[in-house]
Structure 1
Amino acid sequence: MSRKMIHAAVVAALLTAPAAPALARPDPAPASQSASVSIDKARIDAALKAMVDSGRAVGVSALVWQDGRERYFGTAGMADREAGKPMRRDTLVQIFSMTKPVTGVALMQLWEQGKFGLDDPLSRYLPEFAGVQVIDGKGGLRPPARPIVIRDLLRHTAGFSYGMRDTAADAAFKAADPLGLRNDLTEFGRRLAKVPLMYDPGERWSYSAAVDVQALLVEKLSGQPFEAYVKAHILDPLGMKDTGWTQPESAFSRLAAVYNKGADGKLAKEDPAETRRMNFDPTRRMTMGGAGLVASIDDYARFTRMLLGGGTLDGVQILRPSTVRLMATDQLDPRVTDRWWLPSKGSVGFGLDFAVRVKQPRTAAENRGAVGEFFWDGRDSTLFWVDPVNRLTAVFFVQTFPFDGTLHHDLRAAVYGPDYLGPKGD
């Protein structure tokens, strides 16, 4: 899979306690359902070490904040095994699709300013999408049943491809190469608008280039280049000084190497030239909304802490609390039953650029978490989540490709405890 095409992903229910008899002392609720999460440093340390010892990762780090203070930071292994560089707090990693929520926040800032409505047709602002067509099973084209609306971009229901499947629409996407690094976002939009949709807008959930369309929309509505807008309105206000699409050459020595798993199951270092293309190539014109950011773990934790704080961190307001709640609320109509690999992430729906947990974990194989949490991850197995119930946020850095969901399962079990279920959903 091309590095531009981004990743794939991993694997919920209600427990009820019998009512206590009249006048009897009620049995206490199981601790896994009622108790606030208590961070066990030794348990997380052991989980990170096991990830490296098992050969699933070369280097990992994790950072957990709860109740307004750091509760855990730890590392295991190497950022660059061949160069002898350990995983450190200031190590930089490519976060791939963890870029997407940053783009969503940028767009929702403009929504708060009244620049657009969530149910406005996309073509009102980007006219190149007015003539988009849907491809049928025989390769024929037809107009969509309804227009793409901006809400579709934010919840992956627009019908766009990402070039990740074996369909006619994916073949057309690959041929058009809209996310080529020599294209700017305007050229990206021109090319993508000519690629047929995979299905009618609103019909299915399908991971796609929709977040890159969000980035183009930010440019159109703000009048600023997307990268400059995000820097001025999110990264700089939050003090995310190490984060960006464009990195200085001096930062390359801090960048973790990417390790690709071979057919033998062993991790081999990716050619550094491939890594340089995304963030250290001065001829790059593309700034993707769906990927491309490099960050330090403390920087990305500031972004997640802002979300946990209802849009504000250290007195700096990035979004209103009501906007964060809207983004963290499931936006998928129950009729949207075709959700591709989204169910592999557990008992989740999808909000505006976040997966949202809607029910308790159903099986031991499902990731631990609390109803109401929202999260996303990245192609090289990075992860973050925001858990309002436990006033907690966590960030996990690693550079393992293909995506390895077992790392997430083990980290969450270490943070919450393997039997944690959290509160019941609706």
Structure 2
Amino acid sequence: MRGKRLALAMMMACAGSAVIAAPLFAQAAPAETFKIDRKRIDAALAAMIADGRAAGTSALIWQDGREVYFGNAGMADREAKRPMRRDTIAQIYSMTKPVTGVALMRLWEQGKFRLDDPLAKYLPEYANMRVYAGKDAAGQPRYVAAERPITVRDILRHTAGFAYGAGPTPAHDAYVAAEPLALAVPLSEASKRLATVPLLYQPGTQWEYSIAVDVQAALVEKLSGQPFADYVRAHIFEPLKMTETAWRQPDARLPRFAAMNVKRDGKLVQQPAAEAQTLNFEDHALTPGGFGLASTLDDYSRFARMLLNKGSLDGVRILKPSTVKLMATDQLDPAIKERAWLPGKGAVGFGFDFAVRKSPPQTAEENRGATGEYFWDGMASTLFWVDPANKLTAVFFVQTIPYDGTLHHDFRAAVYGPDYRGPAGD
């Protein structure tokens, strides 16, 4: 049980971020075009193994409607001496979140809800929320009524005020005590438990990575009348032929599952299989919207390519082009100044379950990328992005905990070149 709780705490932990250095670029006229350099990417993947940041790496890139790169290095399982392969199955953690967002936005297209509807219209447990307001003179916590309801838009852009694990306030303590993401409870119960926890701030006033995407999943169940996993399988995975992406993997796939590696005292330690694979090879009541999927490079690339193709792939439409554009557009009001660690991901805003690049990289240390791209990553340092300006998608797999943003920095530099800044922003 302790192992499961530890694994759950790790799943809830948000992806980290690299600090953006202050000095601006000194070089003149950085390149705005690039060409995929296979040797450069191969070398970057190999270097991650050589310097001990990863046990195994793999990457798949599509551009202009064709595969332009696949590469791998190191081991999926060092103890079993299994190399990282194209069909290796990896835990993608928070890369589950964009899948959940797509599922919910399908229902929006059907008129099942409006973005600015109160969440309590569909999940009544969120009526009359309280907000933590600091401590009084006696050191006791103060709570005030929410000034406005949480909206569906809030849960799509992480502005609802929810917590996401332990933290410094009594509201965080209440979250931990409520155990909303206990694997033994279904989404409906998870939502009800969360609704008893005071919010960290007034809805709509701050960006704070949170359990909101699991609330999205509960909303999908309520609006569709189907179990969340069944809805996603029927309306996303099966139409896109994502045959190996699931919360619960068949036992026959266990030999292709990548081991998880945790950095301790500067060295990667491979987790025991029984602990690392609990979520994906055992039955649980909870099917979380914010984590839990395991996938292959090719499967997740099909999801990314659908987004790049404005909602369709191989003749199958998942979303309308206008809906994809909406999800990939910054939804944060300029007045929302408090954004936790989001600025550490670069010159970005946040759409619906994606970070959105708003302008070229501002420093040499910032990750390479093109204005208009949208992306997300996972706790085990996985990453994907969609780059409409260059008609490109990239999926990067590794199983390193805690999240290591240097892997993303180096992979992106290898894809684009270290000086790439892309087209100018608006």
Shorter chain as denominator, the TM-score bin is over 0.9
CA contact (8 A) 1:189 1:213 kept: yes
* 3-state SS in 1 of match to 2:390: coil
| 1:42 matches 2:17 | no
1:30 CA drift (Å): 4.0
Q: Which residue of 2 aligns with 1:10?
A: 17
| 1:286 matches 2:286 | yes
Consecutive unaligned residues of structure 2, counting only runs of 5 or more, are 1-5, 136-140
| 1:66 matches 2:63 | yes
1:359 CA drift (Å): 1.1
Structure 1 CA distance for aligned equivalents of residues 327 and 353 of structure 2 = 7
1:175 to 151, 156, 177: 177
Structure 1 CA distance for aligned equivalents of residues 121 and 159 of structure 2 = 18
User: TM-score, normalised on structure 2?
Assistant: 0.94
Q: Which residue of 2 aligns with 1:118?
A: 115
Counterparts of 1:302-313 in structure 2 under 5 Å?
Answer: 302-313=302-313
* 3-state SS in 1 of match to 2:366: coil
| 1:87 matches 2:84 | yes
* 3-state SS in 2 of match to 1:290: coil
Counterparts of 1:253-402 in structure 2 under 5 Å?
Answer: 253-262=255-264, 264-282=265-283, 284-402=284-402
Structure 2 CA distance for aligned equivalents of residues 384 and 202 of structure 1 = 27
Q: Which residue of 1 aligns with 2:138?
A: none
Structure 1 CA distance for aligned equivalents of residues 415 and 370 of structure 2 = 12
* 3-state SS in 2 of match to 1:154: helix
In the alignment of these two chains, the number of paired residues is: 411
* 3-state SS in 1 of match to 2:99: helix
* 3-state SS in 2 of match to 1:389: helix
CA contact (8 A) 1:328 1:356 kept: yes
Q: Which letter maps to 1:143? A: A
* 3-state SS in 1 of match to 2:10: coil
Structure 1 CA distance for aligned equivalents of residues 275 and 172 of structure 2 = 23
Q: Which residue of 1 aligns with 2:230?
A: 228
CA contact (8 A) 1:6 1:97 kept: no
Counterparts of 1:131-150 in structure 2 under 5 Å?
Answer: 131-138=128-135, 139-150=141-152
Q: Which residue of 1 aligns with 2:186?
A: 184
Q: Which residue of 2 aligns with 1:19?
A: none
* 3-state SS in 1 of match to 2:72: strand
Q: Which residue of 1 aligns with 2:416?
A: 416
Q: Which residue of 2 aligns with 1:156?
A: 158
The verdict on how the C-alpha distance between 1:161 and 1:31 changes in structure 2, with shifts beyond 3 A counting, is: closer
User: TM-score, normalised on structure 1?
Assistant: 0.94
* 3-state SS in 1 of match to 2:134: coil
1:311 CA drift (Å): 0.2
CA contact (8 A) 1:91 1:254 kept: yes
Q: Which letter maps to 2:398? A: V
Structure 2 CA distance for aligned equivalents of residues 356 and 198 of structure 1 = 24
Q: Which letter maps to 1:312? A: S
State the Cα RMSD in Å.
Answer: 1.7
CA contact (8 A) 1:63 1:72 kept: yes
* 3-state SS in 2 of match to 1:220: helix
Q: Percent identity?
A: 63
List per-residue Cα deviations over 1:341-383 (Å, max 9, x = no partner): 1011000000011000001101111000000000000000000
1:252 CA drift (Å): 1.2
List per-residue Cα deviations over 1:365-414 (Å, max 9, x = no partner): 10000000000000000000000000000000000000000000000000
Q: Which letter maps to 1:169? A: A
Consecutive unaligned residues of structure 1, counting only runs of 5 or more, are 17-28
Q: Which letter maps to 2:386? A: V
Structure 1 CA distance for aligned equivalents of residues 379 and 328 of structure 2 = 21
1:169 CA drift (Å): 1.5
Structure 1 CA distance for aligned equivalents of residues 30 and 188 of structure 2 = 53
Q: Which letter maps to 1:311? A: G
CA contact (8 A) 1:121 1:147 kept: yes
Q: Which letter maps to 2:14? A: H
| 1:108 matches 2:109 | no
1:6 CA drift (Å): 3.0
The runs of 4+ residues in structure 1 deviating greater than 6 Å are none
| 1:99 matches 2:100 | no
CA contact (8 A) 1:5 1:164 kept: no
CA contact (8 A) 1:106 1:230 kept: yes
